[in-house]
Amino acid sequence: MTANYTPAEMMTVTAARALSNNMTCFVGIGLPSEAANVARMTHAPDITLIYESGTIQTKPEILPLSIGDGELCESALTTVSVPEMFRYWLQGGHIDVGFLGTAQIDKYANLNTTVIAANDGASTKQGKTSYANPKVRLPGGGGAPEISTNAKEVFITVKHSTRTFVEQVDFVTTVGFGRDGKVRDQHPQIGRGPTVVITDLCILKPDPDTKELVVVSLHPGVTEEQVIGATGWPIKFSRELTTTPSPNEQELDVLRKLKDKTARAHSAQGEV
């Protein structure tokens, strides 16, 4: 029997399935954290989840609000210093997958979490966003730039809209394949980069030659026209386009219980 689910649930479960058991995963807060913990609670119980604050093999019962959330440290096997986390674990080549979210992504999988340009052009000079005068100032890169260049590969999960999927990001916070898609060809030591992008509409992967993101799978009920309308560049589709498998009852049950427990815990903390 087909389960009833929302596009957001479809995205999270699909992203969770991209992770496998025995991986070491550097997890970003938000959608990546949600997906990584669903994976841990379903098909990948032995996955090692690492957060930027230094928590290793953490097993939170509720989703963290930030990398400094006490739940991460309390449920971790151990906690190391941030310098050790980056110098030994990340730069030492011990991270299989960096799992990231973003505010903007372009066709070469570059990520922007720094600034959004003003529409009137006042903050733009020679095609580049003025860092001093943006329309919106975002939280910044955190550890994402280092994760992208040191993890063996990168998974990205983000909601699909023209506001997020732009032809060229206003600011390259975290490099995917560069403005021309060729950056990693010139620097092979920085890892494979983004290998999959999972949204609430589809799955995208970089073309092996051009590195431009291509739709390889549509989620059930989603049309090519919907994806085209939600993307800020002329998106391409694989000749072998498939349909993403729907979430099963177990995956949905784990996800919903996790989100409900998280909401109740954070609500209770706010009442204290």
Q: Considering only CA atoms, which of 234, 190, 197 is closest in space to residue 11?
A: 197
Helix/strand/coil for 166? strand
Structure tokens at 35: 């997906």
Residue 114 one-letter amino acid: T
Helix/strand/coil for 173? coil
Q: Count of alpha carbons within 13 Å of 174, Cβ hemisphere only?
A: 31
Q: Kindly give, in sequence order, each residue whose CB lies less than 8 Å from that of residue 167, ignoring residues fewer than 6 positions away.
A: 106, 107, 232, 233
Catalytic residue among 52, 71, 146, 251: 52
Structure tokens at 149: 């260049």
Q: Considering only CA atoms, which of 210, 105, 209 is closest in space to residue 159?
A: 105
Q: Has 52 been annotated as catalytic?
A: yes
CA distance readout (Å), 69 to 58, 171, 272: 12, 28, 16
Residue 242 one-letter amino acid: T
CB 73 within 8 A of CB 57: no
Structure tokens at 90: 């990340």
**Planar angle of CA 195, 198, 202, nearest 5 degrees:** 115
Rounded distance between C-alpha atoms, residue 177 and residue 208, angstroms: 12
Q: Which residues are catalytic?
A: 52
